[in-house]
């Protein structure tokens, strides 16, 4: 039974073989009728004019010979074995050569064997044969392309407005026009240079300046806007984006000049508009040469080196050729990832990735005694406000206690510079996290004063457990302390872990809703590179005890930010994507501040970096309170912790979240949708 099935399959033609047979049958008629049609054309479309001249008899006698030769030639040129749905120049060339060969044979053979035919017979016959043989084979591909074209036309055509009639805009335009499978079409170009108005780039008119964006978006039914102005300032980009978001179009942006310089300006280089494009200020510019001198050849330690800020610090430090870079983190996965990245980019880097907690005095002192870091960037901290409200003891153990122990080890092991990463939530704090970071700033100020007065040995050590008192927490040989203790304070960091921007993007991709805590919430924002630049340069300005503050420009209303992100995605707030209010979370406040009023402000050589004048407090009393604070934290007494924090930080006033949320419910007339 199996053998019969196999034999049956052997005699069964495959689909392509069936097509080949049909093509061969077609070719038999096509190649012979081509020359009959040539005679018909030669004698003015009248067969009666041909019959008396004996040409039809010669044609009929030559048919069998020519048929066999054509089939053999076509087979040799593989005209029966090609995949015609993918027919291209290669197949066209084969048909041309096959036609030339058969035409030469036809001309020579019929003349020698039967007699001379009219010259136009040979020429017109060859042309008609070429058209018929080519047409049947390429018609399949043509039908497929026609179907694909109809299918594409059924899809939504994107009408594009291009902003920027410069070199970058021209590159984007030509890239779009050369994209064969794209259904997008640039309908108009916007440029503020009036000299370009009503002129054309590759057939597309420059219709006007930015003030005509909304008008022309309606006129040309635009649904996508591409910004190709890499030389624009931050304020110019923000002004244009403010107009674009009112059109309801999806907006994409060419990030910067580097693509133009490298000739990489294509549609693929365009990206979704980042919210930092709406901040309306230029990025911080730092003195890289000054930073280079301060880091090169130094042993540098970054705590929390696997986090958002810590990892970017490590990247920039690694590029400045330190003598050794130490990553110190409690989270092994993050530390391992940044370690692999740095080793790959900087194979010559002397890198140590160490796992440990800043809360562990013995581990911290062991690291300082062994590696003797000269510069410490302290980024390790618990930063999540609502979580710390629920676990205030953990906030104190990690933030103030960890900072204290790290600073203590730095002061007694020859560290030259200690930079604390702080937050604007430390200003008039309404939550435990902010208050804990304010205590960290006070630790830095207290240590700086003791260093300046030569009283480092008077700073008491903090212990987690009684048995630690038996351990040596001081180096075997006392080292003169010259450590410069400073703090750097900034606001929310775009793109960091837990940042609102990635959350909003994810919610938009899912179709909403976007969750906003309160319509009046305002926050300061900055980018991760900006934050790190500030931290690095602050170290160069350090003299001891300063709190450096970044001028972060105008604060952003979170509700406006959410609505702008929806609009820049080409969607409508509260229509395509709903926005719901969830109420302030524990410990949150409506407004963030950069400085307490009494701190004042001093300038630095970088006009975007300022110094807050330290608020005086009793450092000795404060240091004595730190022991009680840590003991209460390890006794897990939440109420006692809040009480002690309130005594240490007199500007700490817990947020009246419930009262604010009740007023919001009355304002919107419906219950809040709790997150």
Write out pLDDT tens, residues 530-565.
778 778 887 777 787 888 887 776 778 888 888 888
Q: What does R_g of the chain's alpha carbons equal in angstroms?
A: 39
Q: pLDDT tier at 118 (50, 70, 90 boundaries)? A: confident
Q: CA 469, CA 406: separation in Å to the nearest integer? A: 17
Shared domain for 238 and 99, answered yes or no, is: no
Among residues 97, 122, 153, which one ends one of the domains? 153
Domain identity same for 64 and 138: yes
Query: Is residue 450 domain-resident?
Result: yes
Q: Which two tokens stand for residue 25?
A: 């049958």
| Domain total of the chain | 3
What residue numbers bound the domain in which 445 lies? 288-497+525-555+596-655
Share of the chain above pLDDT 90, in %: 29
Q: Does residue 279 belong to any structural domain of this protein?
A: no
Q: How far apart are CA 636 and CA 612, in angstroms?
A: 34
Rounded CA-CA distance 417/464 in Å is: 26
Are 163 and 145 within one domain?
Answer: no
Query: Is 663 within the bounds of a domain?
Result: no
Assess whether 82 and 222 both reside in one domain: no
Same domain for 615 and 600, yes or no, is: yes
How do residues 232-274 score in pLDDT, each as one tens digit?
A: 777 788 788 888 888 888 888 765 433 433 344 455 556 566 6
d(CA 594, CA 574): 33
- Show Cβ contacts of residue 504 under 8 Å, excluding neighbours closer than 6 positions: 514, 561, 562, 565
More confident residue, 664 or 438: 438
Residues 253 and 370 in one domain: no
Does residue 643 lie within any of the structural domains?
yes
- If asked whether residues 372 and 475 sit together in one domain, one would say yes
> Are 126 and 222 part of one and the same domain?
no
- Cα(511)–Cα(577) distance, integer angstroms: 6
In sequence order, which residues have a C-beta less than 8 Å from that of residue 89 and are 6 or more positions away? none
- The burial of 15, by beta-carbon neighbours within 10 Å (0-12 exposed, 13-18 middle, 19 or more buried), is given as exposed
CATH code, 197? 3.40.50.720
Neighbouring CB atoms inside 10 A of 334's CB total 19
User: What are the percentages of helix, strand and coil residues in the chain, rounded to 5?
Assistant: 55, 15, 35
pLDDT in tens, 464-493: 554 455 444 445 455 578 899 999 888 777
Taking alpha carbons only, the member of 485, 477, 13, 537 closest to residue 317 is: 537
Cis check for the bond before 229: say yes or no (omega within 30 of 0): no
pTM of the full predicted structure?
0.67
The Cα–Cα gap between 140 and 147 comes to: 11
Q: Are residues 110 and 215 in the same domain?
A: no
Q: Are 170 and 229 found together in one domain?
A: yes
Give the rounded percent of residues in the chain with a pLDDT score beyond 70. Answer: 82
Tens of pLDDT, residues 413-451: 989 999 999 988 998 899 999 999 999 999 999 999 999
Q: What angle do CA 175, 180, 182 make, to 5 degrees?
A: 80
CB 279 within 8 A of CB 553: yes
Q: What is the pLDDT of residues 342-371, one digit of tens each?
A: 999 999 999 999 999 999 999 999 999 999
Over residues 607-658, the pLDDT tens digits come to 777 787 777 888 888 988 998 898 899 999 888 999 999 999 988 988 888 8
∠ CA(89), CA(91), CA(96), 5° rounding? 90
On whether residue 168 sits in a domain, the answer given is yes
Tens of pLDDT, residues 26-83: 888 888 888 888 888 887 766 666 665 677 778 888 888 998 999 898 888 888 776 6
Would 579 be classed as within a structural domain? Answer: no
DSSP-assigned beta bridge partners for residue 163 = 190, 227
Contact 641, 388 (CB under 8 A): no
Yes or no: say if 595 and 427 are a contact pair by the CB < 8 Å rule: yes
Q: Which helix (H) or strand (E) holds 291?
A: helix 288-295
> Predicted confidence band at 202 (pLDDT cuts at 50, 70, 90)?
confident
196 part of a folded domain: yes
Domain boundary among 114, 135, 153: 153
How far is CA 160 from each of CA 50, 183, 189, rounded to the nearest angstrom? 62, 11, 9
Summary count for the chain: helices (H), strands (E): 24, 22
CA dist 4 → 7, 8, 10, 18, 93 (Å): 5, 6, 10, 22, 43
Mean pLDDT of the chain: 82
Beta bridge partners of 153: none
Residue 586 lies in a domain: no
Confidence of residue 1 (pLDDT cuts 50, 70, 90): very low
More confident residue, 571 or 303: 303
Give the rounded distance of the alpha carbon of 537 from its chain centre: 26
For residue 260, the model assigns a pLDDT of: 39
Distance CA 631, CA 611 (A): 33
Instruction: List active site positions.
Output: 425
Lowest-pLDDT range of 118-122, 453-457, 595-599? 595-599
146 and 167 inside one domain: no
HSE at residue 101, side-chain half, CA atoms within 13 A, is: 15
Q: Which residues pair with 250 in a beta bridge?
A: 224, 569
Arithmetic mean of pLDDT, 93-118: 89
Residue with tokens 């294509």: 266
Judged by average pLDDT, the poorest of 231-235, 286-290, 567-571, 584-588 is 286-290
Give me the pLDDT at residue 406, please: 96
Of residues 616, 625, 615, the one with CA closest to residue 396:
625
Give the CA-trace dihedral at 211, 214, 215, 217, to 10 degrees.
Answer: 130
Q: What is the pLDDT of residue 478?
A: 55
Q: Which residues pair with 418 in a beta bridge?
A: 376, 485
**Which of residues 93, 121, 153 is at a domain's end?**
153
Same domain, 180 and 87: no
């Amino acid at each position: 039974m199996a053998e019969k099935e196999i034999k049956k399959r052997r005699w069964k033609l495959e689909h392509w073989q069936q097509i080949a047979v049909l093509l061969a049958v077609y070719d038999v008629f096509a190649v012979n009728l081509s020359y009959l049609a040539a005679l018909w054309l030669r004698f003015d479309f009248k067969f009666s004019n041909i019959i008396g001249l004996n040409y039809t008899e010669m044609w009929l006698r030559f048919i069998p010979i020519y048929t066999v030769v054509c089939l053999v030639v076509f087979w040799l040129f593989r005209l029966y074995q090609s995949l015609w749905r993918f027919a291209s120049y290669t197949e066209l060339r084969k048909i041309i050569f096959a036609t030339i060969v058969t035409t030469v044979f036809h001309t020579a053979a019929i003349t020698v064997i039967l007699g001379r035919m009219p010259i136009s017979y040979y020429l017109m016959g060859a042309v008609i044969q070429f058209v018929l043989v080519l047409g049947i084979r390429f018609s399949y591909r043509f039908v497929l392309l026609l179907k694909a074209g109809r299918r594409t036309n059924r899809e939504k055509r994107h009408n594009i407005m291009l902003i920027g009639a410069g070199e970058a805009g021209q590159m984007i335009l030509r890239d779009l026009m050369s994209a064969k499978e794209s259904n997008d079409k640039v309908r108009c170009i916007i440029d503020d240079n009036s000299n370009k108005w009503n002129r054309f780039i590759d057939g597309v008119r420059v219709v006007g300046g930015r003030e005509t964006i909304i008008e022309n978006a309606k006129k040309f039914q635009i649904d996508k806007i591409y910004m190709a102005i890499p030389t624009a300032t931050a304020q110019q980009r923000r002004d244009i984006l403010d107009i674009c978001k009112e059109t309801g179009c999806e907006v994409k942006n060419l990030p910067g000049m580097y693509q133009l310089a490298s000739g990489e300006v294509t549609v693929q280089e365009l990206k979704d508009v980042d919210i930092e494009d709406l901040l309306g200020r230029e990025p911080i510019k730092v003195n890289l040469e000054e930073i280079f001198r301060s880091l090169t050849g130094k042993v540098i330690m970054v705590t929390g080196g696997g986090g958002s800020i810590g990892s970017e610090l490590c990247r920039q430090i690694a590029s400045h050729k330190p003598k050794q870079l130490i990553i110190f983190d409690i989270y092994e996965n993050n530390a391992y990832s940044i370690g692999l990245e740095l080793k790959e980019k900087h194979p010559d880097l002397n890198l140590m990735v160490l796992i440990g907690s800043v809360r562990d005095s013995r581990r911290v002192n062991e690291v300082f005694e062994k590696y003797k870091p000269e510069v410490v960037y302290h980024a390790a901290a618990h930063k999540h406000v609502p979580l710390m409200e629920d676990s205030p003891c953990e906030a104190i153990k990690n933030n103030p206690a960890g900072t204290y122990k790290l600073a203590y080890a730095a002061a007694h092991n020859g560290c030259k510079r200690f930079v604390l990463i702080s937050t604007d939530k430390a200003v008039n704090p309404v939550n435990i996290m902010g208050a804990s970071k304010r205590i960290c700033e006070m630790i830095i100020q207290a240590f700086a004063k003791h260093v300046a007065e030569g009283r480092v040995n008077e700073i008491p050590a903090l212990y987690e457990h009684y048995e630690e008192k038996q351990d040596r927490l001081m180096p075997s040989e006392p080292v003169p302390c010259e450590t410069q203790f400073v703090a750097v304070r900034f606001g929310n960091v775009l793109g960091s872990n837990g940042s609102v921007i990635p959350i909003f993007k994810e919610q938009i991709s899912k179709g909403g809703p976007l969750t906003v805590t309160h319509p009046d919430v305002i926050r300061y924002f900055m980018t991760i590179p900006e934050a790190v630049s500030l931290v690095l340069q602050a170290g160069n300005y350090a003299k001891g005890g300063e709190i450096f503050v970044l001028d972060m420009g105008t604060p952003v209303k979170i509700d406006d930010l959410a609505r702008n992100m929806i609009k820049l995605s080409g969607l409508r707030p509260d229509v395509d994507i709903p926005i719901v209010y969830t109420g302030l979370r524990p410990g949150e406040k409506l407004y963030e501040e950069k400085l307490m009023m009494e701190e004042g402000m001093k300038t630095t050589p970088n006009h975007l970096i300022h110094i807050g004048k330290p608020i005086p407090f009793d450092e000795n009393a404060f240091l004595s309170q730190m022991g009680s604070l840590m003991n209460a934290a390890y006794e897990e007494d939440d109420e006692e912790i809040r009480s002690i924090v309130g005594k240490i930080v007199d500007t700490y006033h817990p947020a009246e979240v419930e009262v604010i949320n009740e007023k919001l419910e009355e304002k919107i007339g419906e219950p809040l949708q709790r997150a």
